Structure 1
C-alpha cells in the first residue's frame, strides 16, 4: 500500500477524494451501513489526510489498513472486507 499512497499524492484532488470515498463506502457498506451518510463530512474533516482517516476506520472495524477494501482492490489483494 505504500506505493499506492505515493501514487495517491499525484492524483487530482477530485480523483483522490473519489478513491478514498470508494474505500470508505466499501467498508461501511459491509460493516456499518448507517455510517455511509457521514462519508462526505469525514472526507471534508480529513481533507489532505484521507489516509489517516482510512487507517482509523480500518482499525475501528479490525481491518488491515495496508490493504484496500473495494471489491476490485480486495480481489487484487486477495482479501475482502
Structure 2
C-alpha cells in the first residue's frame, strides 16, 4: 500500500480536538459524518481518508468494526495536542 504524505496538519489537529471535545461532552465518539461536518470536509469519503491516514500515523485508533469506533490515541494527545 502506497503511503500518502500527511494532509493539512491544521485540519488533522482540528479533527482530533473535535473528537476529544465531543467524547467529553457527549460520552461517546462522533460518527464519521459528524467529524466531517465539524472539520468542513466535503464528503464522508474524504473524512474517512483523513481518518485512515491518521490511524496509519498512530494519531487515531479504531476499536473494532463498530460505528463511532475511532478515538484519539495517547500518542496524539501527548505529541500533537500538548
If the TM-score is normalised by the length of the shorter chain, which range does it land in?
A: 0.3 to 0.5
How high is the TM-score relative to the length of structure 1?
0.35
More helix by share: 1
More strand by share: 2
How high is the TM-score relative to the length of structure 2?
0.35
Larger RCO (alpha carbons 8 Å, 6+ apart): 1
